[in-house]
Amino acid sequence: MKTLDAGQEFPRQQVARLGGDTLTLGAPAEGRDWQMIVVYRGLHCPICKSYLKKLEEVKGAFHEIGVDVVTVSGDPEEKALAMAEETGSSVPMGYGLDIAQMRALGLFVSDPRSPEETDRPFPEPGLFVVNAEGRLQIVDISNAPFARPDLGGLAKGLAFVREKGYPIRGTHAAA
């Protein structure tokens, strides 16, 4: 598995968008010049539901600093719709992320433990912040549902990064 590196160009991905049309991961919505992409595991994940509810609460803090916010999973449309309804999410939501796209994003992928959990392989959590140059400012991936960035702290950190012109960190491996 190859993870994405901080500072590299983000590999744009097209996914279906809940409500119709497509969503381009790595291309901020008009009026914003950065984009934060939150990859969630799927409808079967209670931690994802809590995380998306929190994202809905704090999305304004990201928008205020020019950061577009989107979410995406490997779920089919009907499960993505159920997730949006259960979480009250108004954040643009992509769905149907396939395994090749998950790999291109450097995500960990898990198989369901049982048919009751879900019916397909799914991505483990990931969060990417793409700056105005299309480069990865922040990369955070996990192999388990329990490890995710604190969204409030991330919003404050990105405000600092944007205000101070703070550079991309972690751009090379330790010697």
CATH code (residue 39): 3.40.30.10
pLDDT 10s digits, 57-108:
999 999 999 999 999 999 999 999 999 999 999 999 999 999 999 999 999 9
Q: Report the 10 Å Cβ neighbour count for 6.
A: 17
Asked if residue 107 belongs to a domain, the reply is: yes
Helix (H) or strand (E) holding 62: helix 46-64
Residue 129, strand partner residues:
36, 138
pLDDT 10s digits, 95-152:
999 999 999 999 999 998 888 888 899 999 999 999 999 999 999 999 999 999 999 9
Asked if residue 110 belongs to a domain, the reply is: yes
Longest dimension (CA), the chain: 49
Q: What is the pLDDT of residue 138?
A: 97
Asked if residue 64 belongs to a domain, the reply is: yes
Between helices 77-87 and 46-64, what is the axis angle to 10°? 70
Q: Residue 103 is encoded by which pair of tokens?
A: 């790999």
CA separation (Å) from 99 to 37, 39, 70, 106?
Answer: 17, 13, 19, 10
Asked if residue 169 belongs to a domain, the reply is: no
Asked if residue 21 belongs to a domain, the reply is: yes
Asked if residue 171 belongs to a domain, the reply is: no
Q: Which domain holds residue 142?
A: 13-158
The one-character DSSP state at 9 is B
Asked if residue 89 belongs to a domain, the reply is: yes
Number of domains in the chain: 1
Asked if residue 26 belongs to a domain, the reply is: yes
What phi and psi, each to the nearest 5 degrees, are found at residue 41?
A: -70, -40
Residues 24 and 14: beta-carbon distance below 8 Å? yes
Helices and strands (DSSP H and E) totals, the chain? 4, 9
